[in-house]
Every structure is written in structure tokens, then in C-alpha cells.
Amino acid sequence: MPTRLLSRSPPRRPGPGRGCGHTDEPRRPQHPTVQRLRRTPSAGAPVSLHPLLRQQFEDARQDGGQLDLRKLLQAISAAYGEWDDERRGVVRSMKLLADETSAYTREVRESAASQLQVILDHVKDAILTVDESGRVETLNSTGERVFGYAESDVRGRRLDLLIPSLARHPRLTEALEELAETLDDTQVDLAPRDTRGRRRDGELFDAELGVSKVRLDRRELFVVCLRDTTDRKRAEAAIRESEARYRTLVENAPEAIVVLDVDLGRFVECNENAVRFFKVTREELLAWGPEHVTVAEQADGSASAELSRGYVDRALAGEAPCFEWLYRDATGHVVPCEVRLVRLPSSSQRLVRGSITDITERKRAELLAAGERRVFERITGNVLLAETLEAISETAEKVTPDALCTVSLYDAETQSLGLAAGRRLPEAFRGAVARVEVGARNGSCAAAVFLQRQVIVAETARDAFWEQLRGPALAAGLRACWSTPIRASDGQVVGTVALYFHQPRSPLKRDFELMARLTALAAIAIERRQAEEALRQSEARYRGLFENVMEGVYHANADGRLESVNPALVAMLGYDHANELLDLPSTRPLHVEPQSREAVFATLERDGVVRNAEYQLRRRDGSVVTVVENARVVRDPDGTVAGYEGTVVDITERKRTEVQLSEEKEKAQVTLQSIGDAVITSDAAGFIEYLNPVAESLTGWETHEAAGRPVAEVFHVLSETSRQPIDSPILRCLREGRTVELVEPSVLVNRRGQEISIQDSAAPILDRTGRLIGAVMVFHDVSHERRLQRALAYQATHDGLTGLINRREFENRINDALVAARADPGLNHVLMYLDLDQFKVVNDTCGHPAGDRLLKQVTSIVQTRIRTTDTLARLGGDEFGVLLADCTLETAGRIAENLRQAIRDFRFVWQDRVMNVGVSIGLAEVNGASDTLSSIMSAADVACYSAKDSGRNRVQTYAQGRAPERHREMQWVSRINRACDENRLELYCQPIVPIRRGVEKLRHFELLLRMRDEQGLLVQPAEFIPAAERYNLMPAIDRWVVRQACARLAHRRGGPPREPYMLAINVSATTLNDEQFLDFVAAEIAAADLFPGSICFELTEAAAMTSLAPATHFIRELRSRGCRFSLDDFGSGLSSFIFLKNLPVDFLKIDGQFMHNVTHDHIDRSMVEAIAQIGETMGIRTVAERVDSAEVLAQLAEIGIEYAQGHYIGAPQPVEVLDSLLDADEKAVRLMA
């Protein structure tokens, strides 16, 4: 629009000094618009003008309607001026906008660069820029942390400083180029290259490396990205270790574990237990699926395939089903199992893990438990005993399906077994064992009762126990039988339980457990029936007991009203007749405190029984008695309370006594303050209250200083052996509420730092209500006793004469050497056994003091000729032992020969005599092949015996096949042990009668030991006693004899009424040296309650002389308990008379060697006369042994011997005839006449 454009164009301003009205300027051509305006005919003509211009025209018209051109031009000029100002404003605005845009652009660029730097500083990778020469230009903050360098430290340095693997390339730039090209070729998305970075301290670390090449500012740069993968590598290694642990866990799990691929339908993984469980190879199992190892139907008859799918579906759904399942292994054996299924995580497979546990034993236990419940139901249901025993038999056959079980009952009167249960036995065999005589060859059951032990026969076709019944057993197809005695609670055998099998079979551990439980059930059932029978028999005696018992007895109905009372209760409550009590409406009036009655009834209703309920009752005369009641609820068959019954005891006097005792206790508490022992008391919290003067002295604390302090601060105790602190007895006593004693040796460390050995105990202090109010501790200084104990301990392991270790300690060390040799096959020791050859001559001719000196000097000789690592011991008498540690037999031989020569060259001087002694030495190896300590000692002993047999003063090495006599003795040892175990020792008795008038007519018998051999023949003591004495079996044998004599043979107060008689028991030398034998004898005598003088112990002269001190102590102790003593074989030794005055014996038994020739040999007669005279002088009675003729007997009576024993008097007879001998005793009467 031309008019609008014209109107918006700015007007040209007039120059200075020019106005619109000036005409002196040359006229310029007028604007076409002006011209057109001028040509406008009138104001009202219709012309198309811009509204602003139209307004300007309107404003320029004069009143007459004429156009004022000047005014118009001024208005237009003013409008153009405004427009020009506006344009300039717009230009300035555009310039400002452009400046702001530039500033914003710079700010955005700077912010983007800052954000990029922050990103680079916080990424996990170290980022470097490297120029074309391979030198570092920049390094981000992560890189500084990774490498340990600041950016300024590495700027301008070669990149192989940080990545040493690049240094192997001849040109670093080419290596970077290759890495960058590789990255471009692989589209950047493949894993970076593994390398090793180097930190500032030189440490190398695993890293991933990526390199890219960029162009920046018209130059090329390498951007290197490096990530520290040390932690990731560790994590990956940890994952691998975790996988290995999981694999180990699975392989070593107790269950069989398989992994099933549900889609493939087969196992894809298994552990070794699964392989062993299914009895296939791993490859075979992994080629199978569940259908190969599962039976077609489960125990409940369900199809296995359908059930299996259901359990697998539940596992896939996230459940963990646990169920029982029957599997079949490769051998076809079906095994009950417990299975647990769980789904395993997998991205591509449906995997289910199965844990399989064999529950065969659990099922077996469940069957056994169910059977036991059925048996107990029958026991408690009072069914017939036969039915109960059949239930036991059925239980055994269910638990062990291939077994047949029987139960037999023992009849002691007929000595036979009767079959009571065992329906499944073949009929013919049932008839054969229906009633069997007890014996060792009548089958397993009869043998079990006969031997009083379990009898296991794995093969009836060959076992001697089945000699009499082998035919019926084999005909019935029974090839094995295990029988176990049923023992009642008192240990008596009442029957047997037997398991029969159709195949030869030996029991396993679980079979022994089953038999033990079956016999226990049978014992309960049998004893229950016996108890019921005894109860029925006792009912007849109940009324008499009820009427005459000292305690009050009552029976009340359910309402508490008395229905019956015994006379004792009537008298206790002061009534005249029972009806007076029975007429009472209830027992409430009898109770002093009604709440006590309510408490009793509450306890009865809750527990069904009341034990020792104490309360007070009011007598008829108003006096009060204190009683203790024991009562129980009586129920009818449907369990309803039918009444109550109980006993009441009057304890009024006892309560008075208790009050007196309580007062005495208070007095005793005061007395404790003045006793000689140290006493400390504390409160219930363990704080000191009182120390008596002795305690103050020992602890170093005064009472006022210690009061209120913790016990542990005042009483600090250490273990004497470990030196570790020991908990205070007072604190333990307060915690446990009982008396506490320090068992281990303890030492008190007092306030002064002194250590004092003490013995202490602590007891709780209770008030009359039984509440704990503190504790008291009593202790005393036992330092002297501890020193004495250490000395005694030394004496227990050392010989008092020589100072050497004794036999017991020596055997302990040999045993240690044997253990070490078994642990180290290359280790060899040698045992040297020394026996002096002429020691008895020295002892008998010069006396014991000379013998003692000889033993000491020989000890010194041996000690100087053995090594420091060897052990020397005195074994007893003139016997020594040397343990040559880590020594060959050849070296031991040289040492033994040096010892033999040294002792042979030794001259023993005593007073004016010079004597030679020799030594016989036996050697035996101690190595890993050695058997036992006993066999080693025996071997050395045998070798020494062989040396003596070969002429004495020799060295002999043990070898098999030599010294047959000692080997025979060793064989006797095993025979003796078996005889003891099989009860084949027997006692005989031989009478000793008076032959001199005026002596005590005491019936006197010597107990003599015999043994039955394996064939039942009688063995004389001369055959086995020497071996028993040499190998230390006599203490056990002597104990057996003493026990038999005291328990059933000797004259005791509880036995049949008889005239007094005495039994003589022989005691060996080895038994005399047994420290526990004296206590054993004293206990047996006390338990048997013997009449004084009923037992006489016979000691041989040799035993008494060699063990004089133990013998003297033994005699004195038992004489004080009413025992008598004989010195046996008197006169066989030259030194007898010297020691006789030190032995307080009652009888001298003259050695039988003098008896044979006493009628015609003057020397023997003189010896007998001398002994008789000495005996008479010392008040000791004399007994002649081995009297075999009337002539000898007459000669002895003439000499003045008082008693005689021998075959002429009476031959030894079994002790079973002792009763008849005591009743008759006719021969002794005739002799006295």
C-alpha cells in the first residue's frame, strides 16, 4: 500500500534557519502526494488516506476549511521524528539482544565444558589424552587416584610409565594406533583389552584398556580409557571359590543329591552319595531319569509316575515339597527315603534339585516304637502274658522281616526253658524246643541261661551249642540263632529272647540294640505279671499289716469322709474306737489349720499323690500332734475319683528335736569363731562379713578391713598345678546352693604375697525357712601335708631302699615306650631283666642288712654302666629292670655283657667276709611288633630264666621256642584267666584237729584251691599256682577265695546256728604287697558280719620274710577285726626264728618235710621239738602238716604238737560237704578220745 509506506517514512527535517514559509530557497519539485493533495477538490471528497494522515489533514484545516499546509507539514515532520526515535530504539534493542545472545552462548559453552569435566572426574575409568608422540597431556581425577600421580606429574611423560606393557612395542605411537584401529573395527562394543597398570609405588594391578583416536583443534589425539579391575578380579575369584565350596558342600553332603532337568526328563547333575546310593556309575545315573530308579507303586499303592509329576510341579511353582518315597537301586533293593525338592534358578532350563535321605533306620525305629506301644498296651491292659510275649515276637519279626522270634520262660525248679511265644516257628521245631533242659549243648537259648550271657550262633550246622538240637534246626531250615537272656530287675535270668534265620548270619550293632530292647520289654512284661501275682498273694497279708503297722493308715471316700482307719491312727488321735473317727462328717475338725487340709486335697487333685505333706492334727483331748502324710488318689476303672488312701506318721518328737538342733546350730555358729581352722563368712551377695583370727592370719586381712569387700578380693586362690585362678568356693556355694569343696590342690595367695597350700570347703547358711542368707568357708593350712603327699607320691613310684623307680612306674614307662614304638616303626627299645645269682646266700648267711647293702652297691654299679637315656628300676627282691631306649639288640647285648662282667668282678665285703655275686640277664625287644606289656615282661623274664637254667651269670636274648618251662607257665596264665571267667575255680576243705589234751577244741578247716580244666578234669594247685604267683594273678584269685569264704562258708551271724568253727585261707606274697587287698578283706568281713575268730589267714614263711613290713601291718589290722593268723611252712628258712617275734601270729604250721622222717630221723625230730618249744614259750599254737600215718601222729602228740592236718586225719573234700563235716565231726572226736 503506497499511501501507508509513505505515511510511515520519516520526514526530512528542515535545515537550520529554514522554515516552511521561506521562499528564498529554490523550489524543489513537490512530492507527488502533495501535488495530489493540492489537486484535492474539497475536504469532503472521498480520498483513500491512512487514518493518521487523515487525522493530520483534519487538524491542519482552518476554520474556513482551508488546509494549513505548514501545520500539516509540521505534524507530519513530528510524526516522522517519532518514527525515527522508535527505529533507533529498535536498533539498540536488537544490538542488546545480540550481545545477550553471545554472552549466553559463551556461558552455555563454559557450563557444558565444566559439566563434561565433572563427568570425567567422576567416571570409574582413568581417562588420559595422549599426543601423537605418546606423551600424556591430561589425566582425570579418577586416573590420579588409580595411578597415584597428580596430572602435573605425568604431563609430558610417556604413556608406558603408567601402562608398562606398551613399552614392549618398538614405537609407542604405533601401539596406540593398533589399539585404536582394533576398537574401531570391533564397533566399540566388545570387551576392552586386558593389561596391567603401574601405580606410583611400583605396584602392578589388573586393568582393562580402551584407546580411541580423535581430531581436535586441527590435530590428532589419543583418548585412553583404563579401568582398574582388581576388585572385579577378586570378586570373580571369590565367585569361583564360592562355586568350589558349593560343589564341595554338595559332594560331601550326607544326602544323595540329584538335579533333574524337567524338560529333558533326566538327571543332569549328582553328587557321589547319589552314585553310591543308587549303586551305578556317575555316567549311568546322568543318562537316567526318575523312572529308572523309582518303583512302579509307592507304599500306599499310588502310581509313582503321577505322584512324581505332582511333586515336581509344586517345586516348579516355588514350593519345597518334602515327602517319603521308595527308590530302587541298581541291585533291585528297595530303599525307603525322605525327599526334598526345590527349584534351582536357571535362565533357560527348568531344573529341580532333589535331596534324598535313606530313612531305613528311621522306619525300623518307627516299627519298633509302634511294636513297643502295642506291647505296653497289652501290659497295662492285663491281657495274658502269652499274648504280650507274642506281641514282642511279632514286633521283632516286623522290624527284621527275615527273622523268626521266640520268647522262652525259665523254670528254676526244673532247670528248663519252656517256649512261650513264637507262632511262626515251623511246627516240628516248635515241638523240639517246647521244653528244653538248660545246658551248654541244647541250643542257643539253653546255653544262654546256662552261661548267663548272650549266645550268638551264626551257623547252627557247625556250632557246639547246637549239638543236641542240630537235626531239628536244620530240618526246619534254621541256620542261625541269636539268644539273649531276659534279666529281671534283680539280675536273675527269667527267660530268653531268640532270633532265628534261614541263612547263616552274624548280628550288626543295630541287631544287638534290637535284642536289648526286646529283652527289656519281655522283662517288664514278665516282672509285671510276677508283681501282679505277688500282689494277689500279698492281699491276704494286707489286713494283718493294716491292723498292726505302726503308722496310721486310712481310707476316705471322694467327699473326704473316713471309711476305714487302723488302730495306730485311732491311738495317735487319742480316740478309743475306730467308729468315733468314722462317725465324723469329714476330717476338717481334725486339722488345726484348715488351709493345710485344703492344700493336701489340692495337691491330690492336681498330682494324684502327696509326698511328705507336713501339718498339725488336733487330738481328742485338744492337744496337737505334728504329722507327715503320704497319700494317693484311688480311681475307679473309668478314671473317676473314688476316694483317697494314705499313711500318717506322728513326727511331734522329731520336730522338737529339729528345734533343738536348730538351737545347737546357732551355738555351733558361735563356736566357729574360736576353732583352729580359718573361717570366713559372707552375705548372700558374696561380700565378707567375718574372718576369725586364723583366717586373718592366713589371708593378711583384719576383719574390719575385709568387711564389705568382695570375697575374691580377700580370698585369692590358684591351682597348685596349673597356677590358674580358681573360682572362690564361697561364690560357687552361693550360686549352686550346696556345699562346695576344692577338689584340686589349691594355693592361697595372701595379702602379703605369700603362698599357702590350703584345703577348704564352703557351705550355704540358711535361715529356718530354708532361705539362703550367706555362706561360710572353712580352710586350713595343709602345706606340711602337701609336702608329705609329694613325698608319698615319690615313694609310691620309687623303691625305698635303692631310690630307683619301682615295678609299677617301670611298667608305665615300658608301656609308653611301646606306644612310641608302635607310632614310629623305625624305633626299637630293649628290655633288660637282671636277677642276682647269689643274693639269697648273702641274705641268709649275713642277714637282711647285708642284703640291703648289697642291693645298694649293685645299684651303683649298674647306674655307672648304662646310658643317661636308659631307665633303671628295682622290680622286687634281687630283680632289676633296665629299659634301653632307642637301642638295637646288638648294642643292648654289649651293655648287658659289660654289666655282667662288672657285677662278676665285684667283691661284696661284709664284716670279715668277702663274697662274690653274679647276675643272670635276659633281653627282650620292645618295638612296633611287640604284643602287650605283659608279653614283653614275660619274654624278658623267660630269657633271664633261660640264663639261670644255662648255668647262671649269663646274658640270654629272648627267642621263640626257648625256655619251654616258662612258656608252659605263660600258657597256664591264659588257662587260669579263662578258668576265672568261666567259673571253673573250686574250693576244697581239709580238717585240722586237736591232738593234745587241754587245747581248744575248735573245729578248724583249711580252704584249698582247685581248678577244673577245659575237659572238666581236676587240676592240682602245684600245676597252676606257680604261674599265677609269677604273673601276678594271685591277688585276683585270693580275692575270689576270700569273697567265697565270707559270703557262703564262714561262720557268720546271719547263717545257720552252729558251734564255732574256723576257716583257714592262704594268702600269697604278691597279694600281701597289694595295697588295696587289706581294705578289700576288711570290707568283706564287715559285710558278712562274721563271728570273731571265724577266719584264719595263712601266710607262708617265705612270703612273710620277704614282705615283713606289709605282712606285719596286714596281721595287726585284721587281728583287730577278730581274724587269726598262721605262719605256714615254718622251719623251711634259716631266718624264721629271727623274725618270729615281730609277727603276731596265732599258729605255726610246721613244714611238712619234717613229718616224713620224724619217727626215725633225730634231726627232723629235734627241729619239730624246737619249734614246739618256741611256740609254747611264745604262746603260739603249733600245727603239724602232712600227717599221713598213725605212727607220725603218735610221735607228734608225744612231742607236744597241738594240732595236726593230713590225709590220715582227713583228705581234702569239696566245700559242699562242709555242712555235713560240721554236723558229724566224728573222726576228730575219736582222735581226742
Looking at the structure, tell me whether residues 583 and 721 fall in a common domain: no
Contact 1221, 1213 (CB under 8 A): yes
Mean pLDDT of 1098-1105: 81
Residue 416 and residue 438 share a domain: yes
Which pLDDT score, from 0 to 100, does residue 37 have?
Answer: 46
Q: Are residues 257 and 156 in the same domain?
A: no
Domain encompassing residue 1005: 984-1232
pLDDT bracket for residue 741 (50, 70, 90):
confident
**460 and 519 in one domain?**
yes
Mean pLDDT of 161-166: 86
Q: What is the pLDDT of residue 339?
A: 92
pLDDT at 18: 43
734-743's contacts with Cβ under 8 Å and 24+ in sequence apart are 734/682, 734/684, 734/685, 734/686, 734/764, 734/772, 734/774, 734/775, 737/764, 737/772, 738/764, 739/763, 739/764, 742/717
What confidence tens digit (pLDDT) does each residue in 814-872 have?
A: 999 999 999 998 899 999 999 998 787 787 678 888 989 999 999 999 999 999 999 99
Q: For position 761, what pLDDT does the model report?
A: 87
Identify whether residues 9 and 82 lie together within a single domain.
yes
Question: Percentage of the chain surpassing pLDDT 90?
Answer: 29
Reported as a pLDDT band with limits 50, 70 and 90, residue 242 is: low
pLDDT at 942 exceeding the cut of 90:
no
The stretch 673-688 carries a mean pLDDT of 86
Position 182 scores a pLDDT of: 66
In which band, very low, low, confident or very high, does the pLDDT at 495 lie, cut at 50, 70 and 90? very high
CATH assignment at residue 463: 3.30.450.40
Q: Give the model's pLDDT for residue 44.
A: 46
41/305: higher pLDDT = 305
What's the pLDDT at 444?
92
- Do the beta carbons of residue 292 and residue 343 sit within 8 Å? no
**pLDDT category of residue 4 using cuts at 50, 70 and 90:** very low
| Residue 513 clears pLDDT 80, i.e. is over it | yes
Cα-Cα end-to-end distance for the chain: 190
Domain-located, residue 244:
no
Q: What is the predicted pLDDT for the residue at 9? A: 41
- Residue 137, pLDDT > 70, answer yes
Q: Is 36's pLDDT higher than 50? A: no
One domain, residues 177 and 299: no
% of residues, the chain, pLDDT over 70: 88
121-125, 294-298, 1224-1228: lowest mean pLDDT where?
1224-1228
Mean pLDDT confidence for 1186-1201: 91
Position 971 in a domain: no
Over range 46-72, report the average pLDDT: 71
Alpha-carbon distance of 126 to 192, in angstroms, equals 14
| Better-predicted residue by pLDDT, 1178 or 187 | 1178
111 and 127 housed in the same domain: no
Query: To 5 degrees, how large is the angle CA 1078–CA 1081–CA 1082?
Result: 85
Whether residues 338 and 471 fall in one domain: no
Average pLDDT, the chain: 84
Burial 1077-1099 (b: 16+ CB within 10 A, else e): bbebbeebbeebebbebbbbbbb
pLDDT for 453: 93
Last residue of a domain, one of 512, 536, 560: 536
What's the pLDDT band for 149 if we cut at 50, 70, 90? Answer: very high
Mean pLDDT of 493-520: 92
- Both 1192 and 1065 in one domain: the answer is yes
What average pLDDT does the segment 916-939 reach?
89
For cell 513297643, what's the residue?
Answer: 372
Look at residue 95 and tell me if it is in a domain. Answer: yes
- The alpha carbon torsion through 33, 35, 37, 40 (nearest 10 deg) reads -140
State pLDDT tens for residues 1128-1161.
888 765 445 666 777 889 999 998 888 888 888 8
Select from 120, 147, 175 the last residue of a domain: 120
Res. 771: pLDDT tops 80: yes
Neighbours of 89 (CB within 10 A): 10
- Label residue 543 by pLDDT band (50, 70, 90): low
The average pLDDT across 877-899 equals: 93
Asked if residue 1128 is part of any domain, the answer here is yes
Residue 23 forms part of a structural domain: no
Is 140 in the same domain as 116? no
Question: How far apart are the C-alpha atoms of 1060 and 1070, rounded to whole Å?
Answer: 31
- Which whole number is the average pLDDT over 469-476? 92
Query: The dihedral of CA 75, 78, 84, 90: what is its sign?
Result: negative
The confidence score (pLDDT) of residue 891 equals: 94
1120 vs 840, more confident = 1120
Cβ atoms of 1143 and 1118 closer than 8 Å: no
Is pLDDT above 80 for 1056?
no
pLDDT-derived band of residue 892, with 50, 70 and 90 as boundaries? very high
pLDDT tens digits, one per residue of 628-638: 999 998 888 88
Rounded CA separation 759/779 (Å): 5
pLDDT at 20 over 60: no
Of the ranges 301-305, 743-747, 759-763, 1206-1210, which one carries the lowest mean pLDDT score? 743-747
Is the pLDDT assigned to residue 906 strictly greater than 50? yes
Which comes out higher in pLDDT, residue 384 or 674? 384
Q: What is the DSSP string of 151-193?
A: HHHHTTSBGGGT-GGGGGSS-HHHHHHHHHHHHHHTTT-SPPE
Q: How many domains does the chain have?
A: 8
pLDDT interval class at 1080 (50, 70, 90): very high
Mean pLDDT (whole number) for 37-42? 47
Residues 1022 and 1080 in one domain: yes
Provide the pairing of β-strand 1124-1130 with 1147-1150. parallel
- The number of CA neighbours under 13 Å toward the Cβ of 1018 is 10
Here the CATH number for the domain that contains residue 1009 is: 3.20.20.450
Q: What is the CATH number of the domain that holds 282?
A: 3.30.450.20
Asked which of 311, 339, 358 is the last residue of a domain, the reply is: 358
Task: State the pLDDT at residue 922.
Answer: 93
Domain with residue 949: its CATH number is: 3.30.70.270
Whether 823 is in a domain gets the answer yes
pLDDT of residue 67: 73
Cell numbers describing residue 966: 616258662
Q: Give the pLDDT confidence score for residue 93 in this predicted structure.
A: 72
pLDDT recorded at residue 113: 56
When pLDDT is averaged across residues 593-622 and rounded to a whole number, the result is 87
Residue 25 lies in a domain: no
Rounded to an integer, what distance in angstroms lies between the CA atom of residue 99 and that of residue 376? 109
**pLDDT at site 183:** 56
Grid coordinates of 158: 610417556
Q: What is the mean pLDDT of residues 1160-1181?
A: 88
- The reported pLDDT for the residue numbered 108 is 62
pLDDT digits (tens, 9 = 90+) for 181-192: 765 554 444 446
Q: Is 466 inside any structural domain?
A: yes
Residues 1038 and 1020 reside in one and the same domain: yes
CB atoms within 10 A of CB 247: 12
- Given a cut of 50, is residue 925 above it in pLDDT? yes
Burial category of 427 from C-beta neighbours within 10 Å (exposed 0-12, middle 13-18, buried 19 and up): exposed
